Amino acid sequence: MNTIGKYLLGVAALILMTNCGNNNSNSNSGAMSSSKAEKVYVAPGEHDEYYAFFSGGYSGNITVAGLPSGRMLKEIPVFSQFPTSGYGYSEETKPMLNTSFGFVPWGDAHHPDISQTNGELDGRWIFINENNTPRIARISLETFETEEIIELPNSAGNHASSFVTENTEYIVAGTRFAVPNPQRDMPISEMKGQFKGPLSFVSIADNGRMNLEFQLNMPGFNYDLAHPGRNKSHGWFFFTSYNTEEANTLMEVNASQNDKDYIAAVNWKKVVEYVKNGGGKKVAGTYAHNVYDEKTHTATSTMKEGVISINPVEVEGAVFYIPIPKSPHGCDVDPSGEYIIGSGKLSTDLSVYSFEKVLKAIENKDFVADAYGIPVLSYENTIAGVVKQPGLGPLHTEFDGKGNAYTTFFISSEVVKWKLGTWEILDRQPTFYSVGHLMIPGGNSRKPFGKYMVAMNKITKDRYLPTGPELEHSAQLYDISGDKMELLSDFPTHGEPHYAAGIRADLIKEKSKKYYELSENEHPYAAKSESEATVTRNGKEVHISMTMIRSHFSPDNIEGVKVGDKVYLHMTNLEQDFDVPHGFSIIGANTSEILVMPGQTKTIIWEPKREGVWPFYCTDFCSALHQEMQGYIRVSAANSNTPIKYTLDDE
Partner 1 sequence: MKTTLKLFAILFAIILIGCGGKEEKKKEGFSYEKKASTEQTKTTESAVPASKQVDLSNKGIGPIKSLTLDAVDQEMAAHGADVFKKMCTACHRPDKKFIGPSPKDILNRRAPEWVMNMILNPDEMVQKDPLAKALLIEFNGSPMANQNLSEEDARAVLEYFRTL
Please give the residue ranges that form the binding site for partner 1 (CB under 8 A): 1-2, 4-5, 8-9, 12-13, 15-16, 19-20, 43-46, 515, 518-519, 528-531, 547, 549-552, 554, 574-577, 580, 623-625, 649
User: Shortest distance, CB of residue 34 to partner 1, whole angstroms?
Assistant: 8
- Residue number with CB closer to partner 1 (41 or 101): 41
- Residue number with CB closer to partner 1 (360 or 528): 528
- Residue number with CB closer to partner 1 (465 or 624): 624
Contact yes or no for 299/93 (Cβ under 8 A)? yes
User: Shortest distance, CB of residue 19 to partner 1, whole angstroms?
Assistant: 5
User: Shortest distance, CB of residue 624 to partner 1, whole angstroms?
Assistant: 4
CA-nearest of 349, 501, 358, 340 to 405 is: 340
User: Shortest distance, CB of residue 619 to partner 1, whole angstroms?
Assistant: 18
* One-letter identity of residue 350: L
- Residue number with CB closer to partner 1 (284 or 625): 625
CA-nearest of 61, 65, 96 to 76 is: 61
User: Shortest distance, CB of residue 41 to partner 1, whole angstroms?
Assistant: 8
Instruction: Express the helix, strand and coil content of the chain in percent, nearest 5 each.
Output: 15, 45, 45
User: Shortest distance, CB of residue 344 to partner 1, whole angstroms?
Assistant: 48
- Strands laid side by side in the 236-242 sheet: 222-228, 236-242, 260-267, 319-325, 374-377, 367-371
Residue 407 to residue 618: CA distance in whole angstroms = 49
> For the residues of 68-115, what is the DSSP string, one character each?
TT--EEEEE-SSS-BTTTTBTTSTTTGGGGEETTEE-----B---EEE
DSSP structure class, residue 457: E
- Residue number with CB closer to partner 1 (437 or 552): 552
- Residue number with CB closer to partner 1 (4 or 205): 4
- Residue number with CB closer to partner 1 (305 or 517): 517
> For the residues of 508-577, what is the DSSP string, one character each?
TGGG------GGG---TT---SGGG-EEEEETTEEEEEEEEETTEEES-EEEEEETT-EEEEEEEE---S
- Residue number with CB closer to partner 1 (281 or 295): 295
- Residue number with CB closer to partner 1 (167 or 630): 630
Number of neighbours of residue 373 by Cβ within 10 angstroms: 11
Residue 292 to residue 297: CA distance in whole angstroms = 7
- Residue number with CB closer to partner 1 (86 or 598): 598
User: Shortest distance, CB of residue 597 to partner 1, whole angstroms?
Assistant: 14
User: Shortest distance, CB of residue 85 to partner 1, whole angstroms?
Assistant: 22
Contact yes or no for 594/90 (Cβ under 8 A)? yes
User: Shortest distance, CB of residue 555 to partner 1, whole angstroms?
Assistant: 12
User: Shortest distance, CB of residue 440 to partner 1, whole angstroms?
Assistant: 28
* One-letter identity of residue 323: P
- Residue number with CB closer to partner 1 (58 or 515): 515
Give residue 126's region: left, alpha or beta (phi > 0; psi -120 to 50): beta
Residue 301 to residue 178: CA distance in whole angstroms = 27
- Residue number with CB closer to partner 1 (439 or 558): 558
User: Shortest distance, CB of residue 530 to partner 1, whole angstroms?
Assistant: 5
Residue 270 to residue 434: CA distance in whole angstroms = 40
Give 386's strand partners: 351
User: Shortest distance, CB of residue 8 to partner 1, whole angstroms?
Assistant: 5
Q: State how far the alpha carbon of 176 is from the alpha carbons of 141, 163, 241, 456, in Å.
A: 29, 15, 8, 22
